[in-house]
Structure 1
Amino acid sequence: MSRINVMQPWLGAEEIAAVTDVISSGWIAQGPRVAAFEEAFAASQQADHAVAVSSCTAALHLALLVAGVETGDDVVVPSFSFVATANAPTYIGARPVFADIDPLTGNVTGETIRSALTGRTSAVVAVDQGGVPVDLAEIRAVCDPLGIVVVEDAACAIGSTYRGQPVGADAEIAAWSFHPRKIVTTGEGGMITTSRPLWAARARRLREHSMSVSAAERHGSVLAPPEEYTEVGFNYRMTDLQAAVGLVQLQKLPELVERRRQLAEVYAKQLEDIPGLRPVADPPWGTSNFQSFWIEVSDPYPWDREGLLAHLASYDISARRGIMTSHRQPAHAKFAGGPLLASEQLSDSTLILPLFHQMSESEQARVIDALRSAAEESHG
């Protein structure tokens, strides 16, 4: 049997040709392809402005900066998320304050956010976990009257929808990822989208050491104009090589999402009669791209999450543990407050099943057969 990976990007000849064109052009750093990718991404997500950066972590960092978060502020974040969500506030000297989640969606809610607010809260990071859209309007109804900025961490959510629009369309500012585990990939890379032109302009400067004249403008001039550095900035640029891949990937997005939702539907139908396995599902307010197809393992299923992972591995199937909880990691233990019961329960009982565009019927059937065979066994 060949190994079934939990995820693999859908890359091919078109991406190779796009990168070859960039290399042939002689311009491989941030330049015209990055600008084109920003324009195409903004159109795809119905955003006013898009700013390409080197990673989603960089996007979160800059989003918090341009939104006005300062040293000593509190930023409410879900613990049930990759650690980058909690890391970003600390780069500014702010304190991450952990909020619990809805146990069905894995996302923060207006209620869980409200219970985590403090007198120093200046921003909230709301994550579309695994591609499941967060109920942004509910959270903004809590935060907007208090002058608290909501940053949407849409790292996993390109291709998901919220109330009939692309995720992020109604966000004041959002951060996106193009890591290889994401549906649209550029290898590494990220994007900021925002409705505020001044925030976008500042993010463009900050990603490039806060130069008053971009590198592309300087290198495009025979006599480069003088530049000045208006504040301490960062080297968070995306390259034209990455953007060229992203432009091709973005064209594939509708097909990618359609295929992933088809595979997710098969999983959900085939697992509905196995007691103790609960698959992730669309929330009432939107549709998921199923960037991660996770299942919760509980009684009366005869195996716990760790046992099931080992069982799948014996079939040469590479599943993954569910989303981590940052408040239980050594790096953020000092920020841990009270228990986050739903976050800890989901983190300990969920696993992510293989799901990728090229997945064949026989590969998916092998995963389902392994889950069924485990259900028929007991610890022994």
Structure 2
Amino acid sequence: MIAIAKPCLDGREADAVRRVIESGWITQGPEVAAFEREFCAAVGAPHACAMSNCTTALHLALLAAGVKCGDEVITVSHSYIATANSVRYCGATPVFVDVDPRTFNLNPLLVEGAVTGKTKAILCVHQIGMPCDMAQLVPLAAKHKLALIEDAACAIGSEILWNGRWEQIGKPHGDAACFSFHPRKVLSTGDGGMITTRHADWDAKFRLGRQHGMSVTDAVRHGSAQVIFENYPELGYNYRMTDVQAAIGREQLKRLPELVAGRRAMAARYRELLADVPGLGLPFEPAWARSNWQSFSVRLPAGTDQRRVMQRMLDDGIATRRGIMNAHREPAYASGCWRAGSTLTESERAQNETILLPLHPFLTEDDLRRIVRCLKAALA
């Protein structure tokens, strides 16, 4: 079976975990602090705060932006459901706008029409690793005095051309960017997340919020020669990363350039092998974007039965996934808990008409040729 994705882990991560276990400090501690520093350096961010996952990162980022009950947050339905859920965790209403049919990202041209007096933030998604059009979203958010949060769950290693220079997603270019380290992602810690921000006060809020609102961290209390009694000035959460996860993440960061380069090479090879398939839509990468190619999404020819193609490929031993979901189509999003800021035609088309092909470091040239052969046979 050719899997849709596989994490790239080996003895280096195992040795790092062993180091943590033997240290006796296995939850949020020195490894987490080191991972945060190294992550800052990797993406060019002034602040990075490790989290238990990207969903919790999004929740705290929205809270730091002041999102509360009765507010609205402009975002996309065409994303994993955690994006919209994080808005609802704050008691706010997600306002869904449609995506650009080429990039599957938030269409900046539709955002301004969705802004109301209740709008507090824009939550954009760098979908399956393809960067959003931040050059349009940043000034738009500033014009309306809105926070701009980047759901960068899939985008570690992706880049955008910013003021004539290539910069990493996560610098960040909005107010905060939130990453996932789930096994499906390019960089994995088993599970986990990170928030980067340019605001020191936001970073302080993240650190307070992730540890139950506790005023003194374990590390400070442990290192003090005096007895310290902590207090809890506000409601917090248990959103911490463990040192075991952070140690894995530190090793993963070292190989990130190699992992991204490999994915870019595979994406280019897919393009070559699929170029002659009639009606098949290949991914669009804007001139100002460099994807990490977390996923390779193709749009099936008009009239193709998506499920039949996926089943045929599964029968041939190749895993695929349907196009990215739409939250507004799920039972958990019955009418009343969200609002449409535009039609969602392109979002629904993207879910219905695209499939994700396998892409991970362990694919060989023979694997890629087999995947393409099977896709062509399924489309015949």
Q: Do the two structures share a fold, i.e. TM-score over 0.5?
A: yes
Residue 327 of structure 1 contacts residue 336 of structure 1 at CA under 8 Å; is this kept in 2? no
Find the counterpart in structure 2 of residue 312 from structure 1.
313
Partner AA of 1:161 in structure 2 = E
Find the counterpart in structure 2 of residue 88 from structure 1.
86
Find the counterpart in structure 2 of residue 215 from structure 1.
218
Residue 292 of structure 1 contacts residue 355 of structure 1 at CA under 8 Å; is this kept in 2? yes
Residue 99 of structure 1 contacts residue 115 of structure 1 at CA under 8 Å; is this kept in 2? no
Find the counterpart in structure 1 of residue 322 from structure 2.
321
Corresponding residue SS for 1:90: helix
Structure 2 residues not aligned, in runs of 5+: none
**Equivalent position to 2:249, from 226, 246, 249:** 246
Partner AA of 2:262 in structure 1 = R
2:368 is equivalent to residue 364 of structure 1: yes
What is the CA deviation profile of residues 314-359 of structure 1, one whole-angstrom value per residue up to 9, with x for unaligned ones? 2110001110001111111222536400000001111100000111
- Using the TM superposition, give the Cα deviation of residue 222 of structure 1 relative to its aligned residue in structure 2, in angstroms: 5.7
Normalised by the size of structure 1, how large is the TM-score?
Answer: 0.96
Partner AA of 1:315 in structure 2 = D
The separation in 2 between residues aligned to 1:350 and 1:218, in whole angstroms, is 52
The separation in 2 between residues aligned to 1:368 and 1:89, in whole angstroms, is 39
The separation in 1 between residues aligned to 2:227 and 2:108, in whole angstroms, is 50
The separation in 2 between residues aligned to 1:128 and 1:339, in whole angstroms, is 20
Corresponding residue SS for 1:279: coil
The separation in 2 between residues aligned to 1:339 and 1:257, in whole angstroms, is 35
Residue 178 of structure 2 contacts residue 194 of structure 2 at CA under 8 Å; is this kept in 1? yes
- Using the TM superposition, give the Cα deviation of residue 223 of structure 1 relative to its aligned residue in structure 2, in angstroms: 4.5
**Equivalent position to 1:265, from 268, 272, 286:** 268
What is the CA deviation profile of residues 151-203 of structure 1, one whole-angstrom value per residue up to 9, with x for unaligned ones? 01000000110111101222221111000000000011000000000000111
- Using the TM superposition, give the Cα deviation of residue 224 of structure 1 relative to its aligned residue in structure 2, in angstroms: 3.7
Residue 97 of structure 2 contacts residue 343 of structure 2 at CA under 8 Å; is this kept in 1? no
What is the CA deviation profile of residues 342-377 of structure 1, one whole-angstrom value per residue up to 9, with x for unaligned ones? 0000011111000001111111111011112223x3
What is the CA deviation profile of residues 40-89 of structure 1, one whole-angstrom value per residue up to 9, with x for unaligned ones? 11111111100001000000000001111121100111000000000001
Find the counterpart in structure 1 of residue 198 from structure 2.
195
**How do residues 142-291 of structure 1 correspond to structure 2 at under 5 angstroms?**
142-163=140-161, 164-169=166-171, 170-221=173-224, 223-291=226-294
The separation in 1 between residues aligned to 2:81 and 2:227, in whole angstroms, is 41
The separation in 1 between residues aligned to 2:248 and 2:284, in whole angstroms, is 30
**Equivalent position to 2:346, from 342, 346, 349:** 342
Find the counterpart in structure 1 of residue 356 from structure 2.
352
The separation in 2 between residues aligned to 1:307 and 1:368, in whole angstroms, is 16
The separation in 1 between residues aligned to 2:25 and 2:37, in whole angstroms, is 19
The separation in 2 between residues aligned to 1:313 and 1:81, in whole angstroms, is 24
The alignment of Structure 1 onto Structure 2 pairs a total of residues equal to: 372
The separation in 2 between residues aligned to 1:190 and 1:230, in whole angstroms, is 25
Shift of the 224–298 alpha-carbon distance from structure 1 to 2, 3 Å rule, reads farther
Shift of the 330–339 alpha-carbon distance from structure 1 to 2, 3 Å rule, reads farther
Partner AA of 1:249 in structure 2 = Q
Residue 328 of structure 1 contacts residue 336 of structure 1 at CA under 8 Å; is this kept in 2? no
- Using the TM superposition, give the Cα deviation of residue 269 of structure 1 relative to its aligned residue in structure 2, in angstroms: 1.2
The separation in 1 between residues aligned to 2:87 and 2:155, in whole angstroms, is 21
Residue 32 of structure 2 contacts residue 246 of structure 2 at CA under 8 Å; is this kept in 1? yes
Find the counterpart in structure 2 of residue 122 from structure 1.
120
The separation in 2 between residues aligned to 1:113 and 1:333, in whole angstroms, is 23
Q: Comparing 169-178 with 27-36, which one deviates more in the overlay?
A: 169-178
Corresponding residue SS for 1:122: strand
The separation in 1 between residues aligned to 2:286 and 2:345, in whole angstroms, is 21
Structure 1 residues not aligned, in runs of 5+: none
Q: Once superposed, what is the RMSD of the aligned Cα atoms?
A: 1.2
Partner AA of 1:197 in structure 2 = A
- Using the TM superposition, give the Cα deviation of residue 113 of structure 1 relative to its aligned residue in structure 2, in angstroms: 1.5
What percent identity do the matched residue pairs reach?
45
Find the counterpart in structure 2 of residue 299 from structure 1.
302
- Using the TM superposition, give the Cα deviation of residue 221 of structure 1 relative to its aligned residue in structure 2, in angstroms: 3.8
The separation in 1 between residues aligned to 2:318 and 2:41, in whole angstroms, is 38
Residue 205 of structure 1 contacts residue 212 of structure 1 at CA under 8 Å; is this kept in 2? yes
